Amino acid sequence: MSGQFAGGDLSRLRQLNTLAVVHALRHQPPRTLTEMARAAGLSRPATEDVVRELEAQGWVEQVDPAAGSMGRPARRYRFRADAGWVLGVDIGGHTVRALVADLDGEIRHSERQPVSPAVGRAERLAVVDKVVAECLAGAGRTGAEMWATTVATSGLVDDAGRVVLSVALPEWTGLHLAEHISRLVSGPVLVENDSRLAALAETWRGVARYARDVVYLLAGLRTGAGLIIDGRLHRGFARASGEIGALPELGWIRAQEHLRGWSGAPAGTDPDDVAGLVFAAAREGDRRALTAVRRYVKDFALGASALVLALDPQLVVFGGGFSRSADVILEPFRRELEKRCIRTPEVVQSALAEDAVALGAVRHALDHLELHLFNPGSGLAAPAAPGR
């Protein structure tokens, strides 16, 4: 069995060893060389070799020995999660949110600001610029330090980061969102649909952490869906998956109208604010409100049933703004699903609610870095400012 290693194999092996050590340190408390060697499945000399290089490159640093330890304690190392940063932005109809996180996904600062659903492109982008600037400042960072940024928007986006179609936001269709945000930060700027990013967040830090196949439902003033299939976000061939709402027969177009058109709201109430009043009245047992909720749930469940029947997911996550009213929605929703589906999956309320989208944007930006930095074949180099 000798003679089977060519020269290229050795540098490839070196690279795999480097990544094994990085993986053994990331998301872990500081570790000794011996602990790293065991976790990475490498010999102690090989581990030491790799760690020395990672330390020189700035990926890894020694931590101070624990106070009060006797004798000469073994050196411990940690992965420098603050070697780089990512930014997640959620541009919603009512709110713009931004999060700055380190390479381990720790959120270092979050910022949000309300915005009227009626404002046009320029005004909304001005709010975005402000929220991003304040979030960066709050985290003590600059746009030049961001290694990757993901921006969430409703509607369809293309690979270049352009909004191909948005019915929810005025003057939004045709906007080159990636280009706009690129003026604020360094590094790649990715744009993705908000429901999809919320689904991603649920598998990361939400209720779908242990599920491989998930239908995420974004319930709010609009209804959307994000699909996790075999543990991965399913985008579709032209990034147009989850758009079941386009089929009038499946109820999502009219679902919210049962709430917006509720007759029990005081005259002059903004139609967008009626939903909250309906849920509150239903909670008190108001009959007209309960009827409106029942009609909403029936149409909402129709589209949801189509997704469940198509995919047979392990889990349905009920998310979005309306998930805060799960106490009046979830039980009738489960009953409607049971009426229509062959196998009714577990239905769980999102614990992230409106924060899911921005959190998913952070995860998405981190995934981009994982793919390009911490993956076999990436050829891990010293941390560099993005864009260089």
Q: Write out the residues near a second copy by the rule CB under 8 A.
A: 1-4, 6, 10, 13-14, 17, 42-46, 49, 156, 165, 212-213, 225, 227, 229-230, 232, 234-247, 249-250, 302, 305-307, 309-314, 340-343, 345
Minimum distance, C-beta of residue 40 to a second copy, in the bound complex (Å)? 10
Question: Which of 289, 308 has the CB closer to a second copy?
Answer: 308
- Cβ-based neighbours of 190, under 8 Å, separated by 6 or more: 148, 149, 150, 151, 161, 178, 364, 365, 368
Q: What is the DSSP letter of 312?
A: -
Choice between 43 and 142, CB closer to a second copy: 43
CB 118 to a second copy: min, Å? 25
Measured CA to CA, the distance from residue 77 to residue 51 in angstroms comes to 9
Rounded to the nearest whole angstrom, what is the least distance from the CB of residue 236 to a second copy in the complex? Answer: 3
The token pair that represents 211 in the structure block = 């599920």
Q: How far apart are CA 167 and CA 297, in angstroms?
A: 22
Residue closer to a second copy, measured from CB, 5 or 74: 5
What DSSP designation does 61 have?
E
In the complex, the smallest distance separating the C-beta of residue 359 from a second copy, rounded to whole angstroms, is 24
In whole angstroms, how close is the CB of 348 to a second copy at the nearest point? 14
Q: At what angle do helices 7-25 and 44-57 cross, to 10 degrees?
A: 80
Instruction: Give 3-state DSSP helix, strand, coil % of the chain, rounded to 5.
Output: 45, 20, 35
| Count of residues in the chain | 388
* CB-nearer residue toward a second copy: 42 or 131: 42
For residue 262, the minimal CB distance to a second copy (Å) is: 25
Residue (10 or 280) nearer to a second copy, CB:
10
Q: Which is nearer to a second copy, 229 or 330 (CB)?
A: 229
CA angle 128, 133, 137 (to 5 degrees): 150
Nearer to a second copy, 12 or 283 (CB): 12
User: Strand locations in the chain, DSSP E?
Assistant: 31-32, 60-63, 76-79, 85-91, 95-102, 107-114, 146-153, 156-157, 163-165, 189-193, 214-219, 223-229, 232-233, 315-319, 346-349
- Least separation in angstroms between CB 43 and a second copy: 4
